[in-house]
Structure 1
Amino acid sequence: MTVDGGVDEGTSIRTPCWAVRIRRADGEITGTGILLSPDRVLTCAHVAKDRHARYTAEFVGAASGGEVPSVAAGVDEDAYVPGRWDADGDPSGDVALLRLDQPRPDHETTRLHRVAASHREVQTYGFPVGHNGGIWFGATVLGACGRDGQVQLRPLTGGEVASPGCSGSGVMDVRTGKVIGMLLSSVRDEHGNGFSFMSPAETIVRHLPQLADRVEGREAVDDRLRSTLEDAAQTFDRKFAQRLARWLRDDGSRVKISVVHEDDKVRDATLRRAITLADRELRTAASVDRVSGDPPDTVPSAGDHDLAVDATGRSSAEVGERILKRMGVWQHPAEPVVERIRDAGDVLTLVVVGVDEAEDPPDLLELLKTLYAAGNRLLLVFRHNGVLCRRARRELVDEPEPRPDGDAVAQLRHVTESLAQALSRRRARVLAKESDAVSGYLVRAYLTLAAIRAGNAAAPWDRPRLEHARYEHRATELAGRLTGILGTLDRLSDLLDELNGRMRAYQVLHATAARGTEDDADLDAVRLRAQTLLRARPCDVRAAEAAVAEYIGAVERAIARGRQGGAPAS
């Protein structure tokens, strides 16, 4: 089948081989899929809503010689979870597998990756109407929505709301290049606001456990913190469960400290229950059914925490590495864990159990203070109400160090004022594909500045009440990216000046040494094209550079031919 549109050979981001275009028998594109194994394609149940129909899976990223490989496929009846609305009115499910009649090469497949999804910048690749060859959409992960563990995405720009044909797209983390979930659907509300939703890897594998071998990364909950069959039969501490659920849902406090003695079986089981129910992967249908009759205020939502780690017997470095891997930060392992966490910029909701039973509890507390300073939310569980617990309360709850937002404000003012003006001037003069991202970055800068000045809610892509560390990181990131774009535009502007200089010099040669040759008319046409490109605003400098090079070559060839033929020099 011939390619009908797609990503240019010259683009910086190629069509991923794992992105599958799915057609119905009538040829209509019904959605997108993810090639997870040579014979299995993950997609949304509503993309393959006719479970008994035949579909065609097309591998646009594997196109060769203008031909797109296509394979017939059918729904795997044992791996089909239709979308539905639960008792709370929240969406759930909507995942399915297609089985290919013929396998694809293993190198075209990808895997899902477990990673803390909140606040990450992501991209999806889908096949909406008018873009049959596929197109990238950018978004920022906002956070969990509903009890199923689905996640809301905010498009980077209003025009990037995924439309029909994109359902089933792989959601790729920009920083790591890993596929961390699948796009489910997009909606627009009555005010015209666009929203998209995804299922993270953990939610997908909960619905389709047969995909466990295609998911990489450690689970978000350590084994010793998971509910057991014995816990299920245990009466739980309702008041403690209420407090845990309220904090996990974000009651506005950054740190919660609890004491759970090892011999307090009821309280210990209640803690494991909350941790398990707040995890996307562990909150199975059985666990949901089991708590369905429990007081709603004791039941957290799936995805209310990002990681639950048991610190018992572990060093602070080991705990830190566990957190960094959940953040998706693996680079520079030689650097101290504290520095890597400080530089990571991710903001998670973390549960750390057994703080006072770690290998070096005071050292672990210092790591936890670094996590707090970086904007993370912390549920810290101690086994004894001892000196370290009281110190943690004093330093993290009662008297946290004040952190003014002055540095972030100053940097954001620089971004939105002088840097924005400089970018505006450069963008008016020269054209660059990097310029497309400027508006989105500036909008984020304005929103972050407004959030700081308001002093309450954080910017839309962040959790509420994040303080200085998070704002400062965002300000530094935006300033860095926009400064990089400005540097690119400056280099293009300098090249434009250089091209104008070359053009003037060769126009003199044209007038004095090549004028009157038989090439004169052709030279004028080439000169006019180069001048037109150079004078355009904004100028496509690369196109102008090619046109100037063509003119220079033409002038030099005309002069050489004139000398060989004895043509007059004037």
Structure 2
Amino acid sequence: MLVDQYTALTCAHVVRDPDAVMWLEFAENRDLEPVAARVLPGGWLSEAEGGEDVAVLRLESPRPQARPAPLEPRLWGGMEVSATGYAEGFDEGMTLWGRISGASGERVQLDAVAKAEVVRAGFSGAAVCTRPDEGRPARVVGLVVSWRGDMGELLPEDNRLAFSYLIPVDRIAELSPVIQELSSPNAWDHGFEERLTRWFADPDEEPVKITVVPPGSGKDRSLRHLRHRADLVYRGGGRGGSSRPDLADHALEHIAFPPGQYLAYWDWLLGTRRRPAQAPALAADRPPPTLLIDGLDEEPEPGPLIELLARLRECGLRLLLAFRQAGGTGWTAAYEVLLRPALLGHADALLTRLKSAEISHAISLGVVGADSIGPATETADRRQTERRLINELMDPQQQLTALHELISTLRADLRRHGGRA
């Protein structure tokens, strides 16, 4: 069971040896590459060590493409749950349903509808999941650990009575600080994840996005889990080996420039040479690349970095700027140099598209001729008036708020008039 991009849970008896190297395959997500894993320091929670037959594993390389299992430390008698295992003869997996019997103790009994649905070899370490609620995905309440039959027969159905057992999440959290943290109510910020996922997926979202991500917060963990969605990542303060020359180098992989002009464009991005005669542009057959600046206010001198980001904006890159605290180093410059110009330009581009979409729609309906388009652009004309009024706002925050609202309205207008937004 994957609980974050680096961490998995299983039973200690599955691992067998705390020094073993496990090979993890993601049977329910074939798009994920298998990966080696070892027991995390402090993650060997076997019964022999006074634990509960649990092993917390650390993956050798992350798997952020998978959604982490949402851990739920609460469970109660009568809760309907399921578990998927890979018993002998069921290589594609089999899912069994049951109900929580007694919700107390370090091992919790799971009652199956029939003895044939009691867990068996191949289920150890499987996630015990709740039935999904309306609008809420299934949560993981425990880990399958064993089954017991009253006659000691090898298969559950060969016994008169047979029950499954799980170790609840709250018990694992008592033993493992890692799981304690990941099972807390604030472990993740799912609303933030959804907004970021939309931003990465939709090139029509605002070209510069500024967000505050406090260190160690659920938002921070969610950002780390989505960092792979960015085409480029720069970590403030030189974390992860980030440097402006490296960023310029990697950015040029996405920028179309004439043969033999690499150094001219590289020097221009770093501010040591004038802008090249041929305007820099992105490859036309791909969405604009996204760049995450993770911890911009951790940069000791953000000025040169912000100047580089402004040049990358000229090339068409989309920027996600994560600050560790509101008002941190570089905050004002990021708003004035990056965010405000980007939103103004984005609003203008959407206005142009809206006008074109209105004209095309009206002509297709035969409402106007190509030489008489005045009334056909009524919506775009209204939005253009709103755009001019934004220029008259003197308060920067009011102007940004008005720009966000106008962009949202323009996107809705484009959807109504058949233009992509």
**Same structural fold, with TM-score higher than 0.5 when normalized by the shorter chain:** no
More helix by share: 1
Q: TM-score under structure 2 normalisation?
A: 0.39
Larger radius of gyration: 1
Q: TM-score under structure 1 normalisation?
A: 0.29
